[in-house]
Amino acid sequence: MDTDLANSPGVTRCGNVEFRWGERTYIMGIVNVSPDSFSGDGVSSVDAAVAQGKRLVSEGAHIIDVGGESTRPGAQPITIEEELRRVLPAIERLTSELPVPVSIDTYKAEVAHRAIAAGARIINDIWGLKRDQRLARVAAEARVPLIITQNQRDSQFNDFFTELMAGIQKSIQLALDAGVEWNNIIVDPGVGFGKTVEQNLEIIRRLAELKALGRPILLGTSRKSFIGDVLGLPTEQRLEGTAATVAIGIANGADIIRVHDVAQMVLVVKMSDAVVRGKTTR
C-alpha cells in the first residue's frame, strides 16, 4: 500500500450523503432477511424488512445494512440465486423509501452487482476480498464505498495483531489495485470472525492502532458471542455489554458502529461523542 495515502480519512461520498470522518460517529442499523440470523432478528417478508429499516432510521441510523445470508459460525452457505431472492426486493423498496444509504452485506460479486443496480450504495464484504476479489471491481466501477472486514474463519493466527493488520493492509491493496478509490475504502477488524474471546477484546482495546491504516473504522460488536461469554448472557440480554464495547470502541477511534439496537446505541454514541469529540449537539 502506498504509505502516502495513509493520512486523514477525509470524506466519503455515498450518493447524496457525505460521511465526514472524525466529526461524529455514524450508526449502521441491521436488517437481516435471513431466517437463521444469529441475533434472532431476521425477517422473512419485504414489508417486514421495510418496516424495520424505517424504524431504525427513525431511531437515528445513518446507514441500513441488508444481509441475506447468515454470518453466524456454522451457518450453511446459500446459493447466489437464493441470496438475490431474499435481498433484491427489500433493497429496491428500502432505497426508494429511505433517506439514508443502503448497504449490501455480501461477499459475492454477482449479488453486489445486482444490489447496486437495485439501489444499494455501499458494499459490506465480510470476507475482505478473500472469497471473491471481483467484488472490488464491482465497487470500483460503481464508485461506491467498500467495507473490508478481516475474517479469520479459514485459518488461525500465529501472531495475532500483526497478522490482523497485515491482512487488512493486503485487502486494502487488492481494492486499490482493482480501482476502488482511496476515500471509498472502510475497514472493519472483524470482531467475532474467527477470533477468540481474548482476541476480540484485544481488538477493541487496541482499535486506535488501526488508525495507522488511514481509513475509517467500522466496529461490529452488537450482541456477539464474546459478550455472552464474558457476561454469561444469551443473545437477547447483551444490550449493556454491547453498549460498553461501543463506548470504548468510539473512545479508541471507531467511526461507524454496526448495531441491532439503534435507539439505545444512539444515546451511547451521543454521550461518547460528547466526551471524545467534544460534540454536544446533533
What is the H or E stretch that residue 179 is in?
none
Going by DSSP bridges, is the β-strand pair 11-14/17-20 parallel, antiparallel, or unpaired?
Answer: antiparallel
Cα end-to-end span (Å), the chain: 36
Least Cα distance to 34 among 94, 86, 90, 105 occurs for 86
Q: Is 238:231 a contact under the CB 8 Å cutoff?
A: yes
What is the H or E stretch that residue 25 is in?
none
Phi then psi dihedrals of residue 232, to 5 deg? 70, 40
Residues 78, 99: Cα–Cα separation, whole Å:
30
Q: Is 29:259 a contact under the CB 8 Å cutoff?
A: yes
Selected catalytic residue, list 224, 238, 270, 277:
224
Q: Is 258:187 a contact under the CB 8 Å cutoff?
A: no
Q: Is 100:62 a contact under the CB 8 Å cutoff?
A: yes
108 belongs to the catalytic site: no
Residues 71, 77: Cα–Cα separation, whole Å:
9
Q: Which residues contact 171 (CB under 8 A, 6 or more apart)?
A: 128, 129, 130, 148, 150, 187
258 belongs to the catalytic site: yes
Phi then psi dihedrals of residue 162, to 5 deg? -60, -45
Residues 184, 224: Cα–Cα separation, whole Å:
27
Selected catalytic residue, list 258, 270, 279, 282:
258
Residues 203, 248: Cα–Cα separation, whole Å:
11
As annotated, the active-site residues are: 224, 258
